[in-house]
Homo-oligomer: A and B are copies of this chain.
């Protein structure tokens, strides 16, 4: 990967500084989506070519991983890695900022209140659940 600089913000942007990558992470993290077609059916209408490309890049950078679904072996299941789960605090801040400044937000008010008033608890309980669902046991 060609890096413009080793500024940590730039490093983050090189990994997910585009309009689509974090929507896939959102689906994995907060919407229990684990399959290609579920990402494809999201509200924001990603195209198959962009979706395929982003999934590939996320896997290459170790943020997600693919595995055969335990039920149907032809089906591919996507999981967050520890590096992907580490994006949780950032994602929460994205929700807080967007939920605060979009007058028509769909953000859950309880979630916003929790994020504002009991952030540590929200982060740790969500992280625990993600580790159960995504990391090998």
Which residues of A does B touch, CB under 8 Å? 4-14, 17-19, 22-23, 26, 43-45, 83, 86-87, 89-91, 93-102, 104-107
Could you tell me the distance in whole angstroms from the C-beta of A29 to the nearest C-beta in chain B? 10
Copy total for this chain: 2
Q: By the criterion CB–CB under 8 Å, are A97 and B5 in contact?
A: no
* In the complex, chain B residues whose CB is within 8 Å of the CB of A94: 8-9, 12-13, 90
- With contacts A87-B97, A89-B96 taken as known, whether A22 is within 8 angstroms of B9 at the C-beta atoms is yes
Within the complex, the shortest CB–CB distance from A10 to chain B, in Å, comes to: 6
A26 — nearest CB in chain B belongs to which residue?
B9
A115 to B10, CA, bound (A): 18
Cα distance A121–B22 in the bound complex, in angstroms: 28
